[in-house]
Structure 1
Amino acid sequence: MPTIHAAMRNGLLVAVRDDVAEHDGATTDGVVSDGAVPGDAWRTTRRLAEHDLECVAVHPASPDRVFVSTFDAGLHRSEDGGESFERVGQGTIGEHVMSLAVDPESPETVWAGTEPSAVYRSTDGGVSWEHREGLTDLPSSSEWSFPPRPDTHHVRWIEPDPHDSGHLYVGIEAGALIETHDAGETWEDRVETARVDNHSLTTHPDAPERAWSAAGDGYAETHDAGETWVHPQEGLDHRYCWSVAVDPADPDTVLLSSASGPRSAHNTDTAESYVYRKRGDSPTATGGGVSWERLDDRGLPTGEGVVRAVLAPGAAAGEFYAVNNRGLFFTTDAGDSWTRLGVEWPAAFESQTPRGLAVLA
């Protein structure tokens, strides 16, 4: 029974699918329209609509504990699968929480990133938090700046390494990709080949030392745990990259959402975004002949009027989920074909950008 947590700008949508056609209280509006899957019944709830959301995180081993970060009211936690939320971290974490991550091996260890750039850690499931100091002492920090608010910057993404609990990739928007190998005791400054405007990163449990980055200044991946990065971009015509996801069964199959720039990525009035796929490893700087393919006309809305998607892997080979301003979508063949999920989609979401996607498949 999959559960999807989709964080839009103004509201968290929690959708739970039942494996029956009807269910008491189920929301079935749109189940058989607009390409949705017939026979599915979804129970949906909308929470935190009064806040300005930034991201959502949940661990499969603790599915009832959901974290949602906001720009206007700090960090919120649910212990009942998103039915209710309480604010946590007050007095330690500020109002502007931009990123979240739960350690893949330890659901009690949670990471949060803020604006201005700072990283916080909890080792008790979000009850208490500590500031992992020293991030802004790095030499490159004098160059960090977020263009819409140029006097500040923030931690856009935190990606724990599933093969090393002390190793984190931390994307600063904009200015650097930072790392730590001791859980934030010390920080390592950006390397020359890393992107500087990292929007999202991902890792894979079956691919040690590999990581993938979707950045405003292009796509990148590493094969040596961040020591060097390569930039295979042949066929990638839109290089303002936002979200990246890797096939659960094949780390050489990568999906990427992108646009030509921030206005076409984020603003519904001027939106024009796309989803690309790359198959095959690309350990050299140019990709070694591996090319990106644009996934147009596959059932997933792209192009004019569509903001950049947020992507998430499913549980089985070829499974991915995507959310944009047109709804929630699912593929079982790595993007060859997509199905719109039969989830009630509030009209307000059609003019909003998705901020995060967490799937418990």
Structure 2
Amino acid sequence: MAEDVLVVGDAETESPTARRTFEGHEVECLAAGDDAPARAFCGTFESGLHRTDDAGETWDRVGADAIPESVTSVAVSPHDPAVVYAGTEPSAVFESTDAGETWTEFDGLADLPSASEWSFPPRPDTHHARWVEPDPADPDHLYVGVEAGALVQTRDGGETWEDRVPSARRDTHSMTTHGDEPGRAWVAAGDGYAETRDGGETWTHPQAGLDHRYCWSVVVDEADPSRILLSSASGPRSAHNPASAESYLYRREGGTGDDGGAWERLDDAGIPTGSGVVRAVLARGRDAGAFYAVTNRGLYRTADGGDSFDRLDVPWPDAYEGQTPSGLAVVGEANR
């Protein structure tokens, strides 16, 4: 896994990149908010949660007295940049309302009926909160993906929790939502793709054309959320291990649920896929048709919805080709 955080386009330092190495500990997750573009959070495995307030020049550990050392997901609320959520191993979710200074654990998550079945296959005696997705339409609504076993929710700010529903995926890796589409969410999971139109009450699984169904990262277009990009592979070894990697990028357009079009594999769009390429981490840009993707082969951007990608001019040491990226955040992107 990745051990560095790269900052691209740092106007404060007039440098194309700034780098922080987390002392050999694996970087698990990364998040930043639009309203505080110099602030970001990085979760690591076994060295806790870190925050920068100067666009990556310096990082400080936060929550050491409250949060376990293995932080597996982090999210900034779209409603208030001072509200931050951290998911951990073993599975728990913490909230900060003061930009990471103090933290409170949400009770009741591990008391859900399905919790006895939660298990992470490489370490079957444990499990973790792989993804936390705040609902942009409701500040009290959170989705939490437990790897592996359940996609659960709270609709009252963590006071109570709703267990997985029968149509939800069991191995959620990432999710996305859209501010103009209340009730909708999109999921990339180890057991396939899914989407909801009713706030997670029910889920559909449009899979036509999706030949690789170990899904990792999903994003939707800022201007047209019926355009979806998805990274996937045939299984975990081909997704995450650079030595055996074989991953692909898919796009779907033209509708929702089973009414939309089939998935299209983007093999000739200018971004490397296939043999030797680990699954991409994706992020939505601020403009219509803009997406970013990072793999072990570099950082790429498309401005036309995935028709063509350009590699960004970022220093990419040979060592990075043997690593697997863990997170990608787009903050304050200028129109291009």
How high is the TM-score relative to the length of structure 1? 0.90
> What aligned pairs does 1:111-260 form with structure 2 within 5 A after superposition?
111-260=85-234
Secondary structure at 2:54's aligned position in 1? coil
CA distance in 2, matches of 1:154, 1:73: 16
CA distance in 2, matches of 1:110, 1:24: 26
Q: Using the TM superposition, give the Cα deviation of residue 64 of structure 1 relative to its aligned residue in structure 2, in angstroms.
A: 1.3
Counterpart code for 2:41: F
What CA RMSD, in Å, does the superposition of the two structures yield over aligned residues?
1.3
Q: Using the TM superposition, give the Cα deviation of residue 25 of structure 1 relative to its aligned residue in structure 2, in angstroms.
A: 6.1
**1:120-144, CA deviations, whole angstroms, 9 ceiling, x for partnerless residues?**
0000010000011110100000000
Query: Which of the residues 46, 54, 61 maps onto 2:19?
Result: 46
Q: Using the TM superposition, give the Cα deviation of residue 329 of structure 1 relative to its aligned residue in structure 2, in angstroms.
A: 0.1
Q: Using the TM superposition, give the Cα deviation of residue 147 of structure 1 relative to its aligned residue in structure 2, in angstroms.
A: 0.0
Secondary structure at 1:62's aligned position in 2? coil
CA distance in 1, matches of 2:205, 2:225: 16
Q: Which moved more, 1:46-55 or 1:225-234?
A: 46-55
**Shift in CA distance, 89/17, structure 1 to aligned 2, threshold 3 Å:** closer
Unaligned stretches of 5+ in structure 2?
none
State the structure with bigger RCO (CA 8 A, min sep 6), 1 or 2.
1
Counterpart code for 2:279: R
Q: Is the 8 A contact 2:301 2:312 kept in 1?
A: yes
Higher strand proportion, which one? 1
CA distance in 1, matches of 2:34, 2:204: 31
Q: Are 1:90 and 2:64 matched, yes or no?
A: yes
Equivalent residue, structure 2, for 1:269: 243
Equivalent residue, structure 2, for 1:337: 308
**Shift in CA distance, 224/237, structure 1 to aligned 2, threshold 3 Å:** same
Q: Which moved more, 1:137-146 or 1:59-68?
A: 59-68
Equivalent residue, structure 1, for 2:284: 313
CA distance in 2, matches of 1:348, 1:84: 23
Q: Using the TM superposition, give the Cα deviation of residue 151 of structure 1 relative to its aligned residue in structure 2, in angstroms.
A: 0.3
CA distance in 2, matches of 1:257, 1:358: 16
Q: Are 1:9 and 2:18 matched, yes or no?
A: no
Q: Are 1:348 and 2:319 matched, yes or no?
A: yes
CA distance in 1, matches of 2:143, 2:14: 42
Q: Is the 8 A contact 2:10 2:18 kept in 1?
A: no
**1:70-115, CA deviations, whole angstroms, 9 ceiling, x for partnerless residues?**
0020100111111101111012101100000000010010000000
CA distance in 1, matches of 2:59, 2:128: 24
Q: Are 1:297 and 2:232 matched, yes or no?
A: no
Equivalent residue, structure 1, for 2:299: 328
Unaligned stretches of 5+ in structure 1?
1-7, 27-42
Q: Using the TM superposition, give the Cα deviation of residue 183 of structure 1 relative to its aligned residue in structure 2, in angstroms.
A: 1.1
**1:197-229, CA deviations, whole angstroms, 9 ceiling, x for partnerless residues?**
000000001111000000000000000000000
Secondary structure at 1:45's aligned position in 2? strand
Counterpart code for 2:287: A
Paired-residue identity, %: 63
Q: Using the TM superposition, give the Cα deviation of residue 24 of structure 1 relative to its aligned residue in structure 2, in angstroms.
A: 8.6
Counterpart code for 1:137: D
